[in-house]
Amino acid sequence: MKQYNVGILGATGMVGQRFATLLAEHPWFNVKVLAASPRSAGKTYREAVGSRWAMTVPMPEKLADMIVRDLNADMDSIVADVDFVFCAVDMKKDEIRALEERYAKAECPVISNNSAHRFTPDVPMVVPEINPEHLEIIAAQRARLGTKRGFIAVKSNCSIQSYVPALHPLKEKFGLTKVLACTYQAISGAGKTFETWPEMVDNLIPFIGGEEEKSEQEPLKVWGTIENGEIVKAQTPSITTQCLRVPVSDGHTAAVFVSFEKKPTKEEILQLWEEFKGEPQKLELPSAPKQFIHYFTEDNRPQARLDRNLEGGMAVSVGRLREDTQYDYKFVCLSHNTLRGAAGGGVLLAELLAAKGYFD
Ligand SMILES: NC(=O)c1ccc[n+]([C@@H]2O[C@H](COP(=O)([O-])OP(=O)(O)OC[C@H]3O[C@@H](n4cnc5c(N)ncnc54)[C@H](OP(=O)(O)O)[C@@H]3O)[C@@H](O)[C@H]2O)c1
């Protein structure tokens, strides 16, 4: 496989640190640039991150002494040194939209973890196992931006990565009419640890700004169709959510209730989960889990601490499938929010794009 030089915009942040950890030994991608705000620029990566390193593994030695660049002021030199960038920054939405478009217009593809462009109609929001066909919209986006190579592709919010994968194969075969999902989201989703957010120890906060809207709307774009150079959102299912912050370091859990156009048997559901394979599995992408959906028969699984790291944190765990009195079925899902839900999902998307020639 061809090798690509890559940059990480927002390398010093929580998601950026995950990217650095995942990419340091990547078989296709070679980290050439680490970039962040002017506060970090000019320092070594080790100095810029300082006590903020939040990963359980040490900072990769080969990146620790790289000099961090300013992602705005140094854009021209960054673009000259890389084939594409990953982007995960904490800035105002309009600033992120403008930043990502500037890189794309400079012919540098952007794989974004930010929400700013998720509803731009010609920007694909892709979960590689679910809607890889949405990458075809990139041709229309390039025409709008006036670019030959440059484009923006985004991954979805971390909250939906636990339940949309489990719902997808069921939707294909039996049709979904309504979904209710309550999410129990880890503190790393807010870029925090228990050290930096001690108020979360022995606590629960029943509000995460903007999260319920994302959790209800983003699945409809992921399940949307391409029409006249835009991705048009699916009309069904009707989705309602409640999103809670819970005292868990990593791993978002979702309690899901679902009704179907044609109610399947429990065995049919389990079989669909067992057999579900997407493009990443067929293409054997380096970060793809071999088994995307793992079903646990034990009543007390999946558990965040036990199951979030399954298949490198890239698999989705499901359990407790049973019939419900108000909906057809209910079950519980778990996915690692900063791996599958953030940086790992971004790396997998980049692998899919590389395998399909979008960086050439
Ligand atoms: N945490 C998650 O699980 C998760 C999941 C999915 C998506 N996301 C999204 O990913 C993005 C980053 O989240 P995070 O948790 O990694 O945030 P974070 O830990 O606060 O990191 C923010 C990064 O942005 C940089 N930055 C902040 N202000 C900047 C500015 N004015 N100019 C240039 N760079 C600036 C910071 O650089 P300095 O260090 O130099 O300040 C740092 O590298 C957000 O859009 C978030 O919504 C997060």
Extract the residue ranges of the chain whose pLDDT is less than 50.
none
User: What is the residue with the minimal CA distance to atom 32 of ligand 1?
Assistant: 37
91 C-beta closer than 6 A to ligand 1: yes
Beta bridge partners of 329: 258, 323
DSSP 67: B
In whole angstroms, give the CA distance from residue 62 to residue 91: 28
- Our answer on whether the CB atom of 124 is closer than 6 Å to any ligand 1 atom is no
Residue 24's Cβ-count burial label (10 Å; 0-12, 13-18, 19+) is middle
**Sign of the torsion angle spanned by Cα atoms 339, 340, 342, 343:** positive
Burial 63-83 (b: 16+ CB within 10 A, else e): bbebebbbbbebbeebbeebb
Q: For residue 158, indicate whether it is catalytic.
A: yes
Task: Tell me, in angstroms, the distance from the centre of ligand 1 to residue 62's CA.
Answer: 22
Let me know how many helices (H) and strands (E) the chain has, helices first. 13, 14
Atom of ligand 1 at shortest distance to CA of 41? 40
User: How open is the CA angle 47-51-56, to the nearest 5 degrees?
Assistant: 110
Q: Is residue 88 within 6 Å of ligand 1 at its C-beta?
A: yes
What spacing in Å lies between the alpha carbon of 87 and ligand 1's midpoint? Answer: 9
312 CB-contact burial (10 Å; exposed 0-12 / middle 13-18 / buried 19+): middle
What does the block give as tokens for 343?
């940086």
d(CA 94, CA 134): 24
Burial of 184-203, coded b for 16+ CB within 10 Å and e otherwise, reads bbbbbbbbbbeeebeebeee
CA of 159 to the centre of ligand 1 (A): 17
Closest ligand 1 atom to Cα of 35: 43
Q: How far is the CA of 205 from the centre of ligand 1 (A)?
A: 22
- Provide the pLDDT for residue 1: 83
Q: Which domains does the chain have, with CATH numbers?
A: 4-157+343-355 (3.40.50.720), 160-336 (3.30.360.10)
Q: In 3D, which of 10, 2, 4 has the Cα closest to residue 48?
A: 10
CA 182 from centre of chain = 19
Q: With the C-alpha atoms ordered 130, 117, 358, 82, is the resulting torsion angle positive or negative?
A: negative
CA of 170 relative to ligand 1 center, distance in Å: 34
- Main-chain phi, psi angles of 231, to 5 degrees: -95, 120
Residue 264 is encoded by which pair of tokens? 């399947």
At 273 the three-state DSSP class reads helix
User: For the chain, how big is the Rg over CA atoms in Å?
Assistant: 20
* Span from the CA of 257 to the centroid of ligand 1 (angstroms): 32
Among residues 108, 158, 243, 333, the one annotated as catalytic is 158
Element (H, E) at 239: strand 238-245
CA 203, 206, 210, 216 torsion-angle sign: positive
The atom of ligand 1 lying closest to the CA of 17 is: 16
168, 252, 294, 336: the active-site residue: 252
The interaxial angle of helices 266-275 and 160-174, nearest 10 deg, is 110
**CB distance 150 to ligand 1 below 6 Å:** no
Is any ligand 1 atom within 6 A of the Cβ of residue 237? no
**252: annotated active-site residue:** yes
113 lines ligand 1 (CB under 6 A): yes
